[in-house]
Amino acid sequence: MRLKPTKTKILSLRRLLPLRRRWARRGLRVVFTNGVFDIVHPGHVHILESARALGDILIVGVNTDSSARRLGKGPSRPVNTLAERSSVLAAMAFVDAVVAFGEDTPEELVAELKPAVLVKGGDYRVHQVAGRTHAGRVVIIPFKKGYSTTELLRKLG
C-alpha cells in the first residue's frame, strides 16, 4: 500500500466535495468524526482507529483555532495551531482527509459530506451529536480511560 503525502490529505471543503462524490460513485463507505485534537494522545488514536474500522474512508473535521477557543477550554488553547493539528492528523495512515471548520459545531460540514457513519467520543449521547440527521448512522466510541488533553496539560503545568 502506497501512503499519500500528508499535505495532500489536508483539504478545503471545496476540494473535498468532488472526492466525496467520487468515493460515493465507487461505493466506498465514508466515516466522519471531528474535534479539536489539540495534543493528540492514545485516546484520540483509539477513537480515530475505531472510526476508520467502520468504513472505507475516514474524514476528520478539525475546529479552527477560533472555534476551538469558543469551546471554552481556556484562553491558552489550542496549544497547537490548526495547521499543526491538521498535519499531525493527516500523517496518520488511517486518516484519508482532514478538513477545517470554523463554526461552533460541524453541522454544516456533515450536511455537505453526508457520511454513512458519524462518529463521536464517549462523552456524547446520540441525541447530542451535531449533524446526526445528515448521516446514515451515529456511533459513539467509548473513551480509552486515563487520556485527556486537559488533564495532560494540567500535569505539565
Percent of the chain with pLDDT over 90: 73
Beta bridge partners, 59, equal 32, 97
What is the value of pTM for the model shown?
A: 0.91
The helix (run of H) or strand (run of E) holding residue 97 is strand 97-101
For 6-156, CATH gives 3.40.50.620
Please tell me the distance from the alpha carbon of residue 82 to that of residue 19, in angstroms, as a whole number. Answer: 22
When pLDDT is cut at 50, 70 and 90, the band that residue 153 belongs to is low
Q: Show the beta-strand stretches assigned E in 12-153.
A: 30-35, 57-63, 97-101, 117-121, 137-141
Q: Shortest CA distance to 136 belongs to which of 119, 155, 154, 157?
A: 119
Question: Are the C-beta atoms of 74 and 36 separated by less than 8 Å?
Answer: no
Choose the weakest-confidence range: 53-62, 89-98, 148-157: 148-157
Q: What mean pLDDT do residues 44-66 have?
A: 97
Residue 77 pLDDT > 90? no
pLDDT of residue 143: 80
Please tell me the distance from the alpha carbon of residue 53 to that of residue 73, in angstroms, as a whole number. Answer: 29
25-47 tens-digit pLDDT: 999 999 999 999 988 888 899 99
Question: Are the C-beta atoms of 50 and 82 separated by less than 8 Å?
Answer: no
When pLDDT is cut at 50, 70 and 90, the band that residue 2 belongs to is low
Choose the weakest-confidence range: 12-21, 26-35, 118-127, 139-148: 139-148
Residue 116 pLDDT > 80? yes
Question: Are the C-beta atoms of 113 and 20 separated by less than 8 Å?
Answer: yes
For the chain, give every domain's residue range: 6-156
Query: Computed from CA positions of residues 6, 12, 14, 20, in that sequence, does the dihedral angle turn out positive or negative?
Result: positive
